Structure 1
Amino acid sequence: METIKKILFVCTGNTCRSPMAEYLLKAMIRQRDDLKLENWQIISAGISAVKGAEANAKVKNVMAELGIELEGHISHSLADIELEEQDLIITMTRKHSRALVLDYPNLSDKVFTLKELSGLDSENKDIQDPFGLSEAVYRATRDEIKANLEFLLENLKKFDLSKQD
């Protein structure tokens, strides 16, 4: 039996970037023949999330353009998550990573930004927050996350998530 790989995406409020990453990665795994979604536990949470908030309306719109529904998404705080059980904690910005490592130094070997892991953009390591901006900015953020996830997915195939200390 294959080990279930646990991935947590983290942003600020868990209503924009991290839910996009969570739902995009799930959809991408479903489309592949070499990976099975049942072997993965992919969730998201926010550093400053208000528990139980829906995904942002603009996020729902731009994700629906790809046939991905976020109607069932509700926000989770990091306090709701068993962080030690996660194999990989993927943040949207370096600030998120630093905050996590400061609060949970024992997790430092599991915390990376999405761009650090994908290797797609060596200049900028952050996915900027589209909150309060136009739907076009949300769409661009979605596409940026998706492009990085495509590279990440190839790297994850090589990355042994079953290693535990």
Structure 2
Amino acid sequence: MKIKILFVCHGNICRSPMAEFVMKKLVRDLPAESLADVEFEIASAATSTEEIGNPVYPPARRMLAMHGIDCSGKTARQMTARDYEYYDYIVLMDRNNLRNLRWILPADVYARETSGPVENRKVSLLMDWAHKSRDVADPWYTGDFVATWDDVNEGCKAMLAQILR
């Protein structure tokens, strides 16, 4: 079985690539027996076009590197309606990202896929997986990449644990 996860934030240069590469590392570090017949495909994208083609923002890249995670080669791209069809989970960093999906997804899909228990939703907020009703800290405005790391790490660990149950 293949599980496909797309992490999404505004520009795809800080939070969503951090989540992408944290989740990839968490999956890589799992014991082989945990993955039995499960394969993961993990990526990230933006809701906006502002940063398309740009690499991961240097402070985010440094935060990942401090934890032994390499994200070289990653460049920002925008989410598409085709991504919605392809991925099993669309995981957003904040409520603004959720609102911005209205411009990417058809209205009926947006309404249907953003309600119900988090484990049954195709579209969710990352911190919902950790049972926290708040956004992932946005370092773009605060410069606090440690808080973002903490949120992303907590959310990804909780999500992975629930998916593998």
Asked whether the two chains share a fold, i.e. TM above 0.5, the reply is yes
Partner residue, 1:98? 99
Question: Within 5 Å, which residues of 2 pair with 1:9-158?
Answer: 9-33=7-31, 34-35=34-35, 39-49=39-49, 50-79=51-80, 82-101=83-102, 103-104=104-105, 105-106=108-109, 108=113, 109-119=121-131, 121=132, 124-134=133-143, 137-158=144-165
**Structure 1, unaligned runs of 5 or more:** 159-165
Alignment partner of 2:124: what SS?
Answer: strand
Displaced runs of 4+ in structure 1, greater than 6 A?
none
Alignment partner of 1:9: what SS?
Answer: strand
- Of 93-102 and 20-29, deviating more is 93-102
Residues 139 and 145 of structure 2 are in contact (CA less than 8 Å); yes or no, is this contact kept in structure 1? yes
Work out the CA distance in 2 between the residues paired with 1:36 and 1:76: 32
> Any idea what the Cα deviations from partners look like across 1:35-79, whole Å, max 9, x if unmatched?
279811101000014321100000111110001011211111113
Residues 7 and 43 of structure 1 are in contact (CA less than 8 Å); yes or no, is this contact kept in structure 2? yes
Q: Which AA in structure 2 matches 1:112?
A: S
Question: CA distance change for structure 1 residues 51 and 129 in 2, over 3 Å: closer, same or farther?
Answer: same
Percent identity reads: 29
Residue 95 of structure 1: how far off its partner (Å): 2.1
TM-score, normalised by the number of residues in structure 1: 0.82
Residues 30 and 37 of structure 1 are in contact (CA less than 8 Å); yes or no, is this contact kept in structure 2? no
Work out the CA distance in 2 between the residues paired with 1:110 and 1:87: 6
Residues 81 and 104 of structure 2 are in contact (CA less than 8 Å); yes or no, is this contact kept in structure 1? no
Work out the CA distance in 2 between the residues paired with 1:73 and 1:81: 20
Alignment partner of 1:23: what SS?
Answer: helix
> Alpha carbon RMSD of aligned pairs, Å?
2.2
Aligned residue pairs, count: 151
**Structure 2, unaligned runs of 5 or more:** 114-120
